[in-house]
Amino acid sequence: MGKKKIVKQDEAALLKEKEQIDAKLKKEIKESSKKIKEGRVYISSTYNNTIISLTDNSGNVLHWASAGNIGFKGAKKSTPFAASKVAETLSQAAQKKGIETIQIYVKGIGAGRDSAIRSLAARGLDIVSIKDITPIPHNGCRLPKPRRV
């Protein structure tokens, strides 16, 4: 290893760099401070967990929560009670961000599908539509070839 060089910058360069950083921070604050009225909620319910994510209309994730993230462990993560608790925490985050109306997209075949939707509706969010986007195989996998004896 060679000697390390210490780069010395003059004050003008440091001020210019600081102004650029401040401009970026102001831009980020403006973007985050503008209130979003509409959003999408994606509910992914499996046999093992329930994951709910809140996005804006272009698909950028604003907040997410899961049963494991809240503190449920093992088989309790896939229960309807855990799904309703996840939906409650997500609705609180949505209200903090200023979201009033949501579109719900449900994926999966777990036990928490219905309870998560009911919990979101009970918390005061206006539900515009509910769509099921569970992937369904149209023809399925290719069958194994028949056994020759």
Quote the percentage of the chain above a pLDDT of 90: 70
Query: What are 35-61's pLDDT values in tens digits?
Result: 789 999 999 999 999 999 999 999 999
Q: Taking the model in full, what pTM does it have? A: 0.73
43/100 Cα distance (integer angstroms): 18
CB 119 within 8 A of CB 83: yes
In a domain, 28, yes or no: no
- Note down the domain range covering 88: 38-132
Per-residue pLDDT for 81 more than 90?
yes
In a domain, 5, yes or no: no
The total domain count for the chain is 1
Angle at 22 between CA 18 and CA 27, to 5 degrees: 150
141/149 Cα distance (integer angstroms): 24
In a domain, 15, yes or no: no
Q: What is the CATH number of the domain that holds 48?
A: 3.30.420.80
CB 99 within 8 A of CB 41: no
* Angle between the N-to-C axes of helices 113-122 and 80-97, in degrees from 0 to 180, rounded to the nearest 10: 40
Q: Looking at residue 13, what is its pLDDT?
A: 77
In a domain, 7, yes or no: no
Q: Looking at residue 3, what is its pLDDT?
A: 73
